[in-house]
């Protein structure tokens, strides 16, 4: 069997438009999931470092639950199972009236899953700042809130930047799982092109290149941030 290469497929109408639409959805899913993951992850990570035992417990339970179940299964659970468990009126609204249910399910599923991972990174970052620093802050009369606000978090955030970069790339790539619940993001669109044109190699190559371009841009941006916030004398400028 002879494969007829046609590299014009991914850059010709309407397929280029499909890919661009897929890219837009990838960015929309990843971006919104990132906001949830970052805010919730930071909060849970902070909870895990507090002196209060109950707060640490809540954080630990969250991380354990969301880290232990495969992301794909979590998406299925949010999409197929959770609506059935909710009160009838809410379930009805989700099934009938919620606009873009695949989109919001993907965002929530991916966001909550990634939050567990980011929480662990924040916990590690805060702990890396050290007990000595929190003692110094407490000894000077700062309240717990103030020592997090002015001492622990500003330093921890810098420690957390490199692993956060990886996590951000993961969110972008993991958003491809949204195709399993019917969202035509970048990977989904490239499959669609394959289905219509039988030029799967070209379509998947194009998707690959777009993902690589996305991640390289993200890496460069995060590196730039790392450079800007590096602490003189403490962290080598990268």
104 closest CA partner among 40, 182, 171? 182
Question: Which is closer to other proteins, CB of 8 or CB of 143?
Answer: 143
Q: Min. distance of Cβ 122 from other proteins in angstroms?
A: 16
3-state helix, strand, coil in the chain (%, to 5): 80, 0, 20
Least distance from C-beta 155 to other proteins, angstroms?
5
Nearer residue to other proteins within complex by CB, 154 or 182 = 154
Q: Smallest distance, Å, CB 232 to other proteins?
A: 5
Pairwise CA distance, residues 137 & 122, whole Å: 19
Burial of 104 (0-12, 13-18, 19+ CB in 10 A): middle
User: In terms of CB distance, is 24 or 229 closer to other proteins?
Assistant: 229
CB-nearer residue toward other proteins: 194 or 226: 226
Q: How far is the CB of 123 from other proteins (least distance, A)?
A: 19
Residue 227 CB, shortest distance to other proteins, in Å, is: 15
CA distances from 182 to 28, 98, 171 (A): 15, 15, 18
How far is Cα 107 from Cα 34, in angstroms, rounded to an integer? 8
Give the interface with other proteins as residue ranges (CB under 8 A).
Answer: 132-133, 135-143, 146, 150-151, 154-155, 158, 231-234
- Asked if residue 183 lies in contact with residue 29, where contact means CB atoms within 8 angstroms, the answer is yes
C-alpha span between 184 and 178 (Å, rounded): 8
SS3 67: helix
User: Looking at residue 181, what DSSP letter applies?
Assistant: G
The CB-of-160 to other proteins minimum distance in angstroms stands at 13
């Amino acid at each position: 069997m002879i494969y007829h290469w046609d590299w014009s497929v991914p850059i010709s109408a309407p397929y280029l438009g499909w890919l661009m639409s897929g890219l837009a959805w990838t960015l929309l899913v990843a971006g919104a999931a990132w906001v949830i993951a970052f805010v919730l992850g930071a909060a849970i990570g902070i909870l895990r470092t507090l002196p209060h035992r109950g707060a640490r417990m809540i954080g630990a339970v969250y991380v354990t639950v969301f880290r232990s179940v495969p992301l794909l299964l979590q998406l299925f659970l949010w999409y197929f199972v959770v609506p059935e468990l909710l009160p009838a009126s809410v379930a009805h609204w989700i099934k009938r009236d919620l606009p873009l249910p695949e989109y919001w399910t993907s965002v929530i599923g991916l966001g909550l899953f990634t939050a567990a991972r980011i929480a662990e990174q924040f916990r590690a970052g805060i702990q890396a700042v050290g007990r000595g620093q929190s003692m110094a802050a407490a000894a000077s009369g700062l309240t717990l809130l103030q020592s997090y606000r002015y001492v622990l978090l500003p330093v921890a955030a810098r420690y957390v930047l490199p692993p956060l970069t990886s996590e951000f790339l993961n969110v972008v790539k993991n958003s491809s799982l949204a195709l399993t619940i019917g969202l035509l993001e970048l990977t989904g669109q490239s499959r669609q092109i394959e289905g219509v044109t039988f030029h799967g190699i070209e379509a998947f190559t194009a998707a690959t290149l777009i993902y690589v371009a996305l991640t390289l841009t993200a890496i460069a941006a995060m590196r730039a941030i790392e450079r800007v916030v590096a602490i003189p004398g403490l962290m080598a400028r990268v």
